[in-house]
Amino acid sequence: MNDRNQRSSGNPVIPGWYADPEARIFEGRYWIYPTCSAPYDDQISFDAFYSEDLVEWTKVERILERSHVPWAKRAMWAPSPIERNGRYYYYFAANDIQSNDELGGIGVAVSDRPDGPFHDALGYPLIGQFHHGAQPIDPHVYIDDDGTAYLYYGGWGRCNVVRLNEDMTSLGAFPDGEIFKEITPQGFVEGPCMIKRKGSYYFMWAEGGWGGPGYSVAYAKSSSPLGPFTRVAKILQQNPAVATGAGHHGMIQIPGSDDWFIVYHRRPLSETDANHRVVCIDRLHFDDNGFILPVAMTFTGVPAYRLPL
């Protein structure tokens, strides 16, 4: 790891109240795309942050605003962007619908740049109904090695996965004809996340209530991106010496290496307001059998790490 003896990111890694971070590598830079953690109806825009080395971060303000999403009338949160064919697709939740009689769900915005500005791609939600009991929130987009794009999402303790067509703004069918495939593992609450390592799929999610100290992350392991996903263990949780409410994360893998970083939010011990959440980054390790080891939350974060040229 380069610069390991010189500088470290520190935690929180970015200033301000932010949550639900998605982490990506775009155009030779690290990116963090979080929710602006404010009272619910004040969450009406998104910021982003980029870095060359995981230590120094530059803020890009208001990359997507509610005014650019004609169907969004209340809060927007839980972004997940991806690049495909030179364009950037940004999935997000809006309006917190409680039934199929309401307008809202998961939207998709698009831009030619990772820093936006993003604009709503459809004029309506990409997923705007409940299927298999899953509230349409907390999207996470993942493109497999074969080019298949999946969108994992869900709240209210249920999780679905859909296939995205090549245009990334419409849904395709699975080989069995299903559009919405339920994959809910034991303990799932919200905040899905998928990675692939050495041929295995690691499906992660948040457990507990987002506003409480017990918010946490657990995972399952499978040979397929569609599961089945059998819960293995909790890998991130509160530490009474560091922080509480640790969960809803994204992942970074350094290209060409087995170095992994988990980017997540947590609540400082000094804070009691549920919205006072900060974004942090720590190392994620695997044992010799390919199981994820518990994450050690730190105040130092991770050493400076520039991407390989």
Residue 81 confidence (pLDDT) above 60:
yes
pLDDT digits (tens, 9 = 90+) for 225-262: 999 999 999 999 999 999 999 999 999 999 999 999 99
Residue type for position 43: Q
Break the chain into its structural domains and give their ranges. 18-284
Q: What is the pTM of this model?
A: 0.97
* Gap between the Cα atoms of 223 and 9, Å rounded: 34
Beta strands (DSSP E) in 175-215 are: 181-182, 190-197, 200-207
* Gap between the Cα atoms of 291 and 273, Å rounded: 34
Name the nearest CA neighbour of 111 among 142, 141, 81, 137. 81
Residue 3 confidence (pLDDT) above 50:
no
Three-state SS at 4: coil
* Gap between the Cα atoms of 126 and 167, Å rounded: 12
Share of the chain above pLDDT 70, in %: 98
Enter the tokens of residue 24: 């990506």
Name the nearest CA neighbour of 141 among 174, 169, 183, 103. 169
pLDDT for the residue 257: 96
Active-site residue list: 20, 190
Residue 2 confidence (pLDDT) above 90:
no
Half-sphere exposure of 121 (CA within 13 A, CB side): 21
- Is 18-284 assigned to CATH 1.10.760.10? no
Residue 173 confidence (pLDDT) above 60:
yes
Residue 5 confidence (pLDDT) above 70:
no
pLDDT for the residue 309: 77
DSSP state, residue 188? -
Residue type for position 176: D
| CB proximity list for 25: less than 8 A, separation 6 or greater | 31, 252, 255, 307
pLDDT digits (tens, 9 = 90+) for 280-291: 999 999 999 999
pLDDT digits (tens, 9 = 90+) for 207-229: 999 999 999 999 999 999 999 99
CB of 119 within 8 A of CB of 107?
no
